[in-house]
Amino acid sequence: MVIREKSNSDETSFFKLDNDIWVKNRAVHLPSKGSMRAWACRDAHAPLLVLLPDQRQTRDFIGDAQTLNLFKDRNVEILPEISFAEDDAKIDAEKVQRGDVLARFLDKRGVLAVTPASLLAPFSSGSDYFHLILGEEIGRDRLVQWLEQKGYVRGDLVWSPGQYVSRGSIVDIFSPSDSFPLRLEFFDDELESIRFFLPETQKSLRTLQQASIQSLLGRTESNLSRFMPKDMHIVYFDPKGLDTTAENASWLWGNLDREKQDSVPWRQWDALYDFFAAYPRLRVIQDVNSSHVRTGLRQLPLFKGKFLEVEEFCRNHAEQGYHVEVYSEAERSIEWARANGYAAAEGILTDGFIDINDKKIVVSDLELAGASVPRRGLEHRAPSDWGVGLIPGQWVAHDEYGVARYLGPERVTTLDGEQEYLVLQFAEERRLLIPVMHFYKISPWSPAPGQEPTPDSLKSSHWKKASDKAKENAAKAAQELVTIYAERELTPGFAFAPSKALMKELEDSFIFAETDDQLKAIQAVEEDMERPVPMDRLVVGDVGFGKTEVAIRAAGKAVFSGKQVAIMAPTTLLAQQHYETFSARFASLAVRVEVISRFVSISAQKKDIERFARGESRYPNRYAPPARRRCSVQRPRIGRY
């Protein structure tokens, strides 16, 4: 029998542990996969390589470290994984980008967060650059020719490294050495403007005096050894998870076609693991029984947004000499923290934790609001309305010309230079070129199942007649709706009170930034509820676009006006999810939230239904899937809105 030595340590920094623990690659216990990971690495006195199972965890680690301001002026980066895309240019750009990150790690000796997949994949080095200086005669055509020679791919929009677009005097380029794409404006051959822009919105971020475009044609290699600092330390988070993801990544790459495998060689995980054995390193696990060292970091209780419990917990520990720090995206939480004398700052943390050694409590939105704001991914995205549902060969409808087949984009030489057009094919194989700026006039069109559509003719007036007829029918339908709504206006309803202090507190507890559409929907619903007539409004949106928050605001307005609220959910699981969400949001507002579903015992359901029917609670809320509608309940003081 092997007896494993164990030791408990009050230290909460890996770099304050005995050097022997690093040399022997001991297993160190951390109870959470959250922000305490970054906190435990805070005193790194040498280059630090942090291995995590996936890209989401690398984002969380780096994001938590930045929010907590742990590494000060040190260079902190993520080594991106290489994609399994069929686009060779995209892979070339990713290899160059990865080579730049590794070179900076060797040069600046900071912190590098990696995954097994990002370590195993190849990278490029030795690329050359095209230098841009504002006001110089660069030559647009010379630049475009250089981009073509250096592996860049011309497209319709730029949102991924390795892409470029040339439209008249404007050239957009995404160099792998930059975090954002560049937009260049020329006057003849003179470079008049250089600026970064955001691909998702195409809006400018900031202007530059000079920039450099990196070639995609470098020397492909997979030898990491010369990019690893000699005094580097390594931390393995979740070693079993690392082994699993390494195996999965290698399997996926091994199943690609042989030509791609040969062109992009990968390292072996076992060989890489053996290479790292020469460096001081730690294994961080959650299983306390399998660890050699237990640190002084602890998890916070699962408050699930119960604000009063968080307040009591922090107050009790503050009286014991603990320093409380609050990081939140909600203005209400920041104000609460400062009013109680706690340190507070805006920021996203994965979760909070307790540092026993430093007597510190870190509180996040997960404890205060029951949810945390997700961090955005590493990759940029094309604008959401660009090319949605449109692929070459698909049927579309043009607002003015009718049904046609979409053939894709095409570049045409005009007096203003090359321009992009969208090509539509109508009857008699007649083609129509639509400028990119008129993209909004085209929409996908799906024929009835089993019916092959017939394209409209550019010479015929059939589409115009059909459009006029549709407008006439729409006018009739509108007249019928006007009659219905006129009758509704004469039907008495309940006018809910305008927003007061409690509604303001409910609004401030929302840790996310409301979208414009969300704010419009909330305002419209609240205005409807304040009118003395029944509300008739349907809120429609895709999954994840914030409909639940609209319902929360409406429910709050009702209960704060003395009404009870009943919410029907289509499934038991969704009822439970809404129950947890509403519970977290109303926890600090004296609003009792309950759920009726098969997750709740029959006896508890009966008690809740009886209490609800009697109206004993001032602010009870109910969630029930259709299976529970058989319950016969008198509903006093339900706000019909």
- The DSSP code sequence of 217-264 is --EEE---GGGS-TT-EEEEESHHHHHHHHHHHHHHHHTS-HHHHHHS
pLDDT score of 433 more than 80: yes
**Cα of 125 vs its chain's centroid, Å:** 31
pLDDT score of 260 more than 70: no
CA distances from 306 to 326, 368, 369, 584, 625 (A): 15, 7, 7, 6, 25
Cβ contacts of 403 within 8 Å, gap of 6 or more: 395, 396, 397, 445, 453, 454, 455, 456, 463
Q: Please compute, for residue 326, the number of CA atoms within 13 A of its CA located in the half-sphere on the CB side.
A: 27
pLDDT score of 62 more than 70: yes
Query: What is the mean pLDDT of the segment spanning 45-59?
Result: 93
Which of 238-242, 298-302, 579-583 has the weakest average pLDDT? 579-583
Helices (H) and strands (E) in the chain, counts: 18, 30
Neighbours of 473 (CB within 10 A): 10
The predicted-structure confidence for 449-470, as pLDDT tens digits, reads as follows 667 778 888 877 777 777 778 7
pLDDT score of 269 more than 70: yes
Question: At residue 38, what are phi and psi to the nearest 5 degrees?
Answer: -65, -40
- Environment class of 190 (CB within 10 Å of its CB; exposed 0-12, middle 13-18, buried 19+): middle
pLDDT score of 74 more than 80: yes
The confidence band for 498, taking pLDDT boundaries of 50, 70 and 90, is confident
The predicted-structure confidence for 326-342, as pLDDT tens digits, reads as follows 998 888 888 888 988 99
pLDDT score of 206 more than 60: yes
The predicted structure's pLDDT at residue 48: 95
The predicted-structure confidence for 132-150, as pLDDT tens digits, reads as follows 999 888 888 899 999 988 8
The predicted structure's pLDDT at residue 383: 56
The predicted structure's pLDDT at residue 641: 41
Diameter over CA atoms, the chain? 90
Contact 605, 596 (CB under 8 A): yes
The predicted structure's pLDDT at residue 513: 76
Q: Please compute, for residue 200, the number of CA atoms within 13 A of its CA located in the half-sphere on the CB side.
A: 6
More reliable by pLDDT, 229 or 589? 229
Handedness of CA 247, 250, 253, 255 (dihedral sign): negative
Q: Is 126 left (phi over 0), alpha (psi -120 to 50) or beta?
A: left
Q: Please compute, for residue 160, the number of CA atoms within 13 A of its CA located in the half-sphere on the CB side.
A: 19
The confidence band for 353, taking pLDDT boundaries of 50, 70 and 90, is very high
Tokens read off for 122:
């190849």
Query: What is the mean pLDDT of the segment spanning 207-220?
Result: 84
- Environment class of 183 (CB within 10 Å of its CB; exposed 0-12, middle 13-18, buried 19+): buried
The predicted-structure confidence for 505-551, as pLDDT tens digits, reads as follows 788 777 777 888 888 888 888 888 888 878 878 888 877 778 888 88
